[in-house]
Chain A
Amino acid sequence: MKIRNLTKKYDENVVVDSANFEIPQGKILSLIGPNGAGKSTVMGMISRLIARDAGIIDFDGKDISRWKDRELSKRLAILTQQNSIQMRLTVRELVAFGRFPYSGSHLNEEDQAIIDRSIKYMELEEMEHCFIDELSGGQRQRAYIAMVIAQDTDYVLLDEPTNNLDIYHASNMMKMVRKLCDELGKTVVLVLHEINYAAFYSDYICAFVGGKIEKIGTVNEVMTKENLYEIYNVDFEIMEIEGKPLSIYY
């Protein structure tokens, strides 16, 4: 996916200012940056949830706006922060919606098999018949990821998947995301607040400041003292743990 001159304005306020970058296939790209830097807006635009004001989002040789909704939903899945869902569905019913772009409401045996696999993959077999509003935050997030897996897309976009999760569930979530990429070969784009999760679990980092891309590159290229100071305006120490540059700040 190639993004050229992507721009978004709210009235006169430019939130995203001609962003240019590419999403590397089969890798994890994390979008980081301070609040209001425009990273979530970029995510919204590349997943066609938010309308853009200018720019090109080239997905497989065709601009994303020229894709048919149904076709695109077989190639690209987006998970935003789901905290207001009122509906009482069981885990299995939720995961089954992932097959909707393929089979609509009539699920065939192949769909059922895929649903089974996705539930198993996210280790939700025990609770597949529980209602999602009775699960813990971590379990619910896993159920949504299972739905995305059932959707069987090449691209998976996750908007702050670790939000509202405690450290245990958040790091488990990040391990799951890594598995999505390594084992299932998906291209993953994340919006993350916690930079060490971005540093440890992703391949590339794209840092936004004030609507512009400040730094983009491999984890090692971006995670330096100087860069992080420019992005967050806070002093950082970088330590290497398991070959990854992790930051310390206070």
Chain B
Amino acid sequence: MISFIKNHTLTLALLPVLVILSFTSLFVGVIDVTPASLFSGDQETVLIFFASRVPRLLALLCTGTGMSVAGLIMQQLCANKFVSPTTGATISSSQLGILLAMLFMPASTLWGRALFAFLFAILGTWTFVFFIMKIQFKDVVMVPLVGIMFGNIISGITTFLAFKFEMTQALTSWLTGHFSSVIRGRYEIVYLVVPLVIIAFMFSSYFNIVGMGKDFSKNLGVHYKGVLFTGLTIAAVITASIVVVVGSISYIGLIVPNVVAMYKGDNIKGTLFDVALFGSLFVVACDMVGRVLIAPFELPIELIVGVVGSVLFIGLLFYRLKHGNRAIRRVRQRGEATT
């Protein structure tokens, strides 16, 4: 029992905080919804609670989990701590997909757009990874820089097309991530994150092995390219299903897996749950700040995440450049189970 607590300190610390924060988040908003008014059975309160507040919380949790797990998978597969849906062109590719769906199929439903977003996110991520595998950069920082450049080229195309066809206004909603339009019936695609994260968990050892390199995978009888591209596809679909509902949310996929890895290492099986928890916590917290800061108005979450994230990212960058992949906690205690 004691060793269980020791092994899962991080999980046990994050879980209650997330539960409390999530519960609080349900009762934050322009219209006063309190637990008391909810139980009194007030029609309007119940409606707001179930049509807006609950969906919003679920979307937040799915987004946090999804983005951070997608980042984790990408970082492991590419064996580079700076790769993520933001720095790997996944987000910008899915935005391009959404725009093309709106252009060519103006009558498309959310699902139609989602399919386009999936397709483009997958293609964009594959292209990026294919590219970095071919070129084999010596410096780890080059990889995300190339990714950011590649992402910006795709964003450039998206913006150009949007201007050309006067779609900029419609597109804005997907460029800046926000949760204010999440209501019942319009966000359910984001639930795709749940089965995909479960699949990712089942494949976690494969991702680890592929992250150790081609020879290493082959020695253990693992199909390197097959797993690599399956993993990237999972990460891309997770990302795209979030972008289609709430828009781009940067930094989470980059920062969350890094911070968790500093404490718990890189064994995905052992860290995936913490990554999901920490990601959810980060998103729920940032969303709450965005709703409270200038109430009754609301700041898009992308703004809050961007400010907090960029500061953390710079810190992370200095830390990695100075210490490489070193953990904060240097030597683990004996007697801890690891698998």
Contact = CB atoms under 8 A, between A and B. Distances in A.
A88 B218 contact: no
A80 B215 contact: yes
Interface in B236-281: 261, 265-267, 269
A13 interface: no
A92 B338 contact: yes
Contacts, number: 104
Contacts of B216: 82, 85
B212 A78 contact: no
Interface string A113-151: 000000000000000111101100000000000000001
A183 B267 CA distance: 32
| Residue from B79, B208, B269 whose CB has the most chain A CB atoms within 10 Å | B208
B330 interface: yes
Interface string A51-80: 000000000000000001111111001111
Nearest to B140: A86
B266 A87 contact: yes
A70 B220 CA distance: 7
For chain A, which range describes its interface: under 10, 10 to 19, 20 to 34, or 35 or more residues? 35 or more
For chain B, which range describes its interface: under 10, 10 to 19, 20 to 34, or 35 or more residues? 35 or more
B57 to A, nearest CB: 32
A97 B220 contact: yes
B205 A100 contact: yes
| Residue from A48, A88, A128 whose CB has the most chain B CB atoms within 10 Å | A88
A48 B332 contact: no
A88 B204 CA distance: 15
B215 A129 contact: no
A69 B221 contact: yes
A152 to B, nearest CB: 12
Interface in A69-112: 69-74, 77-80, 82, 84-90, 92-93, 96-98, 100-101, 104-105, 107, 112
Contacts of B80: 86
Contact of B215 (A72, A78, A100, A130): A78
A129 B218 contact: no
Contacts of A101: 220-221
Nearest to B336: A129
B327 A49 contact: no
B273 to A, nearest CB: 15
B331 interface: yes
A104 B220 contact: no
A79 B212 CA distance: 12
A15 to B, nearest CB: 18
Contact of A70 (B214, B221, B269): B221
Interface of B: 76, 79-81, 202, 204-206, 208-209, 211-216, 218-223, 261, 265-267, 269, 324-327, 330-334, 336, 338-339
23 contacts: A47-B219, A70-B221, A73-B220, A74-B221, A82-B216, A85-B212, A86-B80, A87-B208, A87-B325, A88-B261, A88-B325, A90-B338, A96-B339, A97-B208, A100-B205, A100-B221, A101-B220, A101-B221, A129-B331, A129-B334, A129-B338, A130-B331, A151-B220
Interface of A: 47-49, 68-74, 77-80, 82, 84-90, 92-93, 96-98, 100-101, 104-105, 107, 112, 128-131, 133-134, 151
